[in-house]
Amino acid sequence: MQKLTVSRMKQADLKQLEMLSQIDRLIDRCESWPDAEHVWEPAHRMQVFLQRVLPRVRTMRERLESPLVVAMFGGTGTGKSSLVNAILGKEIARPGRERPTTKRPLILVHPEINLDLLQLPLEQCDLVRPSLPILEDIIIVDCPDPDTSEEADSASNLERLRQFLPHCDVLIYTSTQQKYRSAGVQSELHDAAPGCRLVFVQTHADRDVDIREDWKTHLGETYNIPEMFFIDSLNGLQKQLRGDPVEGELARLQNFLLQQLSSGNRSHIRQDNVLDLLYATLSRIRTTLYQFAPALDILESELENNSRQIQQQMSEQLQQELLSARQLWERRILESVVQQWGSTPFSWLLRLNHSLGALLGSFGLMRARTTAHLALIGLTQGARLWKQHQQEQDFSTLLSEIDNLPVREADLRDKQLILQGYARTAGFETEQLFSNAQKQLPGKEPGFQEEFYHDARLEVDRAVEHLGNQNSGAVTRFMYDTLFLIYPGFLLYRIGRNFFWDSFIMSQEILSADFYLPAGVFLLLWCGLFSMFFTRRLRRGLKREVKKLVERMISRKLNNDLFPAMQQQCQIARTAMQKLTELEEDCNALRQQSTTSQTLGSTAIR
């Protein structure tokens, strides 16, 4: 049995250590938020705010085993000092009948407790060290009134209260039938509650009506309130001074404090206080940042619209350039078709048409009679071949030479000024944001233009391959080869029949030049007609393909942007918001995993 108990204790310790390691990891992640350079002013402002809160969080984390600091918090005349005396069973704090309000925080601490570990602002407090059993585990502070009429300057009660509250672990919130709806007190409580456990006590039970249910309803939207107490402090103190046993609500409160604020619960309470404070801070930061989310959406939309407009204009310019290079397209497509067509009569015609210049040049070389004539024909043929090679090179470099955007620099500057207004509304420091962008002309950024033309080259290759496949299919080849062979087949039949049958068998005359000359002319016309039909087919397909190509280029989402600096900062802002949301969710998950007793009140989880 003893081994089982020890094992359970070890498991509990391990679970507690695991929870503390997760809290430490969460604090480290908050320390590094946001994790990128940014010019988004809200994130910068919230980063400064978070860096101011984190030292308090770390201090609370380091004080896990120190005595808990319990602060009496409530409006003027709610009996805070009287409740302190009733809890201790001894008249130590002077009640309101002897002084109108608490001027300075009164610290009640056991003589054996070392206050140096708690780093309390002792120079602004009154210190009393009564040797009472209840003070062995807790330190009680009678705080100044939060609804004082003084201005919140460095010497005021309200400022002393605000300086002391960050050091407190538990707030005992006292109120009366008349004070429980006080707006000023509740405002100060709302600021102080994150990072503290709460105990709610209605005082003046000797003369007030029990309003705890209405009070709980009033506070229920903001706080978790498991327990409320209704106490007559003066009567309870008098009983203890006479040596009578404590009864009723005061006895229940004393037992409650002894059990819930014992040394065994210190680390759990402070652990929950750390998570509450961190969660409240992250929630406030998230609320602030998400106020700029609509303006950020508009800015990103305008950035995308401007990039789309330029992309569409570049695509239209690309279409004009591609259609103006129609002959280069036809040559490229014919090469693709001839390679896929195979060896057929019509493919020979296409090859002949494609190589007609070289063939004529060869015939010219055969007819040369002198060296000068041969040199002249050679130069002409060389120039033609160089021109053909240059045309092929021109087609391959056509897209890279289209570098003139159809948008004036002044138009781009106007777009930038408009975007600057949207960026300012979204919270960006526009002077720093646009300082680097001014060094390069918008729209001339290498990433945007190079990506566009790289994609355009891929689309051109895809279009050539598609047109080549489309115009060299089995049906197309069969149709053109069959129709093209009608006339050459007729000529071969006519000439063969005349030569073999009519001349040898029937003893008729062989066909003369009067037949061959018109037949040759009509053969050339027949070949030219089929070449023309096929070329027109290529041109119609070319126009359709270029139109589809441009449509694809317009609808394509480019990875690079027209204004990359602005887009990058928008992405950094989005990432900061996303990471902050993740931190808040992780912190909330740790709060819900906490093993602390739920009998102490706290700020509600939202």
Q: Domains (ranges, CATH) in the chain?
A: 2-27+65-291+582-599 (3.40.50.300), 293-407+443-562 (no CATH)
Tokens of 302: 């305008």
DSSP string, 328-345: HHHHHHHHHHHHHH-S-H
Point out which residues pair with 140 in neighbouring strands: 70, 108
Question: How many angstroms separate the Cα of 473 from the Cα of each of 184, 199, 273, 337, 341?
Answer: 86, 86, 76, 9, 8
Residue 9: pLDDT band (50, 70, 90) is: very low
Tokens of 129: 């060290």
Task: Give tens-digit pLDDT for 150-208.
Answer: 555 555 677 777 888 888 888 899 999 888 888 878 888 888 878 888 899 999 988 88
HSE-up of residue 58 (Cα within 13 Å, Cβ side): 11
User: Could you say which DSSP state residue 502 is in?
Assistant: I
Residue 315 corresponds to which tokens in the numbers above? 């695509």
List the one residue out of 200, 239, 206, 202 whose CA is nearest residue 220. Answer: 200
Give 77-88 pLDDT, tens digit per residue: 888 888 998 888
Q: How far apart are CA 141 and CA 322, in angstroms?
A: 84
What values do phi and psi take at 94, rounded to 5? -75, 125
- Quote the longest CA-to-CA distance of the chain: 160
Tens of pLDDT, residue by residue over 343-401, are: 777 777 777 766 654 444 444 444 545 555 445 545 554 555 455 445 444 445 555 44
First to last CA, the chain: 42
Nearest alpha-carbon partner for 388 in 420, 361, 407: 361
Measured between alpha carbons, how far is residue 78 from residues 174, 225, 484, 485 in Å? 6, 19, 110, 113
d(CA 561, CA 303): 8
- pLDDT tens, 136-150? 888 898 888 886 655
Which residue's entry shows tokens 């009472």?
A: 132
Least confident window among 213-227, 275-289, 393-407: 393-407
Which of 10 and 540 is assigned the larger pLDDT? Answer: 540
Six-digit token string for 283: 């929630």
Q: Which residues pair with 224 in a beta bridge?
A: 602
Other C-beta atoms lying within 10 Å of the C-beta of residue 551: 12
Q: How many helices (H) and strands (E) does the chain have?
A: 21, 9
The gap from C-alpha 160 to its chain's centroid, in whole angstroms, comes to: 42
Token pair in block for residue 576: 């900061």
Q: Are 61 and 274 a contacting pair, CB within 8 Å?
A: yes
Upper half-sphere CA count for residue 311 (Cβ side, 13 Å): 27
Higher pLDDT pick, 2 / 590: 590
In this predicted structure, what is the pLDDT of residue 360? 45
> Is 487 within 8 Å of 521 (Cβ atoms)?
no
Amino acid letter for position 401: E
* C-alpha separations of 324 from 151, 347, 387, 523 in Å: 80, 27, 18, 32
H/E segment holding residue 312: helix 293-324
- Of 61-70, 122-131, 491-500, 554-563, the poorest mean pLDDT is in 554-563
Structure tokens at 603: 């700020």
427: left (phi over 0), alpha (psi -120 to 50) or beta: left
pTM above 0.75, yes or no: no
pLDDT single digits (tens) 117-129:
677 777 878 888 9
The half-sphere exposure of 589 on its side-chain side, counting CA atoms within 13 A, is 10
CA 410 from centre of chain: 32
Length of the chain: 606
Distance set, CA 351 to CA 330, 336, 473 (Å): 13, 11, 17
User: Are 84 and 71 in contact, with CB atoms under 8 Å apart?
Assistant: no
d(C-alpha 157, C-alpha 152), whole Å: 8
Which residue do the tokens 């036809």 mark?
Answer: 330
Burial of 16 (0-12, 13-18, 19+ CB in 10 A): middle
Mean pLDDT of the chain: 77
Q: 306-319 in b/e burial notation, b at 16+ Cβ within 10 A?
A: bbeebbebbbebbb
Distance, in Å, from the CA atom of 495 to the CA atom of 359, rounded to the nearest integer, reads 26
